[in-house]
Every structure is written in C-alpha cells, then in structure tokens.
Amino acid sequence: MRNDWVCAEYVRTRSDDIVDALVEHVGITVTSVAGGFVLALVLAVLARSWPRLRALILGTSTVLYTVPSLVMFSLLLSVTGLTATTVIVGLILYTLTILVRGILTGLEGVPPDVREAAVGMGYDGLRLLRKVELPLAMPAVYAALRVATVSTVAMTTIGMIVGHGGLGNLIDRGLDSNFRAEVLTASVLCVVLALVADLLLVGLQRWRTPWRRGVS
C-alpha cells in the first residue's frame, strides 16, 4: 500500500477518531484560555491596585512561561495524574504571561480623566471596572487573547505525553507508525483550528467594540 501524505480513505474510515480528537482539542483549548483569562484578570487588577505586587506577579508569570512543557506536565502529574486536568492546568499557567500583561496594559491605558469622570458619576469598584475600564481596554485585551489562543491551540498537542493532546495524539500515533496521512491531517486541522479561533476573536472584538469599526 502507498503511504501518501494525502489519503481520502484515511479521512473516511477514521472520521470518528479525527472528530473525537478535534473535540478534545477544542475543549482543552477553550477551557484553558477561559480559565487563564479569569485568573489573569484578577492578577492584573491586583498588580494595578497594589504596585508592590506588580513585579512579583509579572515576574512569576514570566518564569512559568520559561518552564519547558515536558517538565511542567511532569511536575503536575504527581497532583492531577494522567488526566486532561494536567494539560489544562499547565496551559492556564502558560497563558498568564501573555494575558496578564495584555490586560494590565489595557487597564493602564484608560485615560485618567475618563476614570475621574466615571468616579464623579458614581462609578466605583467592580462597577467602574466592568462598565468603564474593561470596555476601553478591549483592544489590548483582545490582542492578548488572540496570541494566547493561537499559542494554546499549538501547545495543546504536547498534551499527548499524558494521552490528552487532542490532535496531538493523532500526530504522535502517526509518527510512531510512519503513517503520513494521519500526521498531515492532524497538523492541517491544528492550523485551521488556530485560524478559525483567531477569526472568531476578531469578529467578537468588532462586535463588542462597535465604536472602533471605523478606526484603522
């Protein structure tokens, strides 16, 4: 049998495996980015409110990003075991260095006079953050989200070392068996998934920030 890179028969006969891997990949990516965003938002607000914590938060998130994924997942195995949680927790930690800085940059970019005007109108605390600061910080926040999401789509494949890598499982299996079609199909789907996720975020940003549609 020919071992072609492109094989329609493989896609037809293994469609269930491909769909299952794709669903797992999307699930891990969405959960990781969502969890990372919530945690990063809290850390960014703390870093802005208490300058003494700023260096600690930014430094810690940077150090975590420098830890090799194999080492990170191996360290988490003793706590979370061979589960998808190991991959999700690791990916959440990796997103922090991008999301914390992006959110913090956006919040600090809110004009002081706008903030003062909002406070004068009775906005304070969470209401000020939700109604005034976050909407104005959206461009920087979405820029960070796009980078974090695309990188998470790629890094999810490394989860194959614990058996939960989504499309990475197919890539690993194809490499072990020298099955070219499996490797190429899974790799192309990873690229397509990253592009689709990025386009969705661009569309969401345009929808959430209608006042910037005319800004180049």
Torsion of CA 108, 35, 88, 169, to 10 degrees: -90
pLDDT given for residue 215 in this prediction: 54
Output the pLDDT for position 79: 84
pLDDT score recorded for residue 214: 57
Number of domains in the chain: 1
pLDDT number for residue 43: 93
Q: State phi, psi for 123 to the nearest 5 degrees.
A: -80, 135
Q: Which residue numbers in the chain have pLDDT < 50?
A: 216
With respect to residue 117, please indicate whether it lies within any of the assigned structural domains: yes
**Which domain, by its residues, includes 59?**
8-210
Q: Please write the tens of the pLDDT for every residue from 184-212.
A: 888 999 999 999 999 999 988 888 776 66
Domain contains 2 = no
Which domain CATH number covers 62?
A: 1.10.3720.10
Residue 215 within a domain: no
In the prediction, which pLDDT does 5 show?
Answer: 65
Q: Above pLDDT 70, what percent of the chain?
A: 94
Kindly state whether residue 67 falls inside one of the protein's structural domains. Answer: yes
List Cα–Cα distances, 26 to 15, 150, 151, 166, in angstroms. 16, 12, 13, 8
In a domain, 14, yes or no: yes
Q: Specify the DSSP class assigned to residue 209.
A: -
Q: Is residue 90 part of a domain?
A: yes
Indicate the pTM of the whole model: 0.86
